Amino acid sequence: MNPIISARGLTKRYGRTVAVDHIDLNIPPGRIVGLIGPNGAGKTTALKAILGLLTFDGELSVLGKNPARDRAVLMEDVCFIADVAVLPRWIRVWQLIDLTEQLHPRFSRDKCLEYLADTKVTLEHKVKQLSKGMVAQLHLALVMAIDATLLVLDEPTLGLDIIYRKQFYTNLLNDYFDEQRTILITTHQVEEIEHILTDLIFIQDGKIVLDSTMDEVQERYVELMVVPDKAVQARGLSPMYERELFGRHIFLYDGADTEQLAVLGELHTPSVADLFVATMKGATTKGGAA
């Protein structure tokens, strides 16, 4: 099965700054991939390379094409959503639908109108008259009406309240995703997407520091919560990270013997957010983020 995205030694420099540093990626179809990293880690640069918005060193193939050279053809099979505020505020909904139909050969007006029928968005609304949640619904309706193979989401729910954020991802799963499509998501709201992810990629200082399926993550990492008098023993088993919460010590381990850990306290599967903090810090510390 040919990968949707394949990269070997993908590198992007801005003068002396290396924004993306020899990245290797292989993303097959039918996956929902979270690309997570701190500000300045290289996420946006990597996305721009994938979308053909900048040149790069190394090898990169998206849907079998070189995005820097074949962007126009590639974008017939790719959809991109950044912050929902990018929609022009002066335009009316019907004008936006007309424009999308003219620009994208795989856009279905009927399907878009079907999605909008379940919202309060009308064809005569101007974007500036819509709430952020309604703009998100409009944006998603436009995207879901395009028969694309790859959907790239860059902070797609930024600034929305929790109701609209949850509805956004529910609609995405129920009405868009299938085994032939791939979704690549970058967001700082990792708690809201971890239940939908099939794969997890952490990027730091332009390098990939974790690239695993969610099944592999659950098998590989474990958290141990202990009372203070067990902390020294737990610390002796080489955790990758330690934090303290309400007087208890929580240790995160990579590939540890769970039977050995179980006698010391309670075992849990770490959240993506906690795993992210542990991986970014890269060393055992006390008093980390709870």
CATH number at residue 228: 3.30.70
Residues 58 and 93 both lie in one domain? yes
Per-residue confidence (pLDDT) for residue 144, from 0 to 100 = 84
Residues 141 and 227 both lie in one domain? no
Per-chain mean pLDDT for the chain: 90
Q: What is the pTM of this model?
A: 0.87
- C-alpha distances in Å from residue 193, one per residue of 26, 32, 185: 21, 10, 9
For residue 155, is it within any domain? yes
CA atoms within a 13 Å half-sphere pointing along the CA-CB vector of 57:
10
The CA angle 239-240-245, to the nearest 5 degrees, is 75
Range of the domain at 151: 5-205
Considering its fold, how many domains does the chain have in total? Answer: 2
Residues 102 and 223 both lie in one domain? no
| Residues 104-141 pLDDT 10s | 888 999 999 998 998 899 999 999 999 888 888 898 88
Cβ(219)–Cβ(55) below 8 Å: no
| Final residue belonging to a domain, choices 163, 185, 205 | 205
For residue 288, is it within any domain? no
Per-residue confidence (pLDDT) for residue 289, from 0 to 100 = 35
| Final residue belonging to a domain, choices 205, 233, 255 | 205
CATH number at residue 21: 3.40.50.300
Residues 160 and 196 both lie in one domain? yes
Count other C-beta atoms under 10 Å from residue 118's C-beta. 11
Residues 95 and 20 both lie in one domain? yes
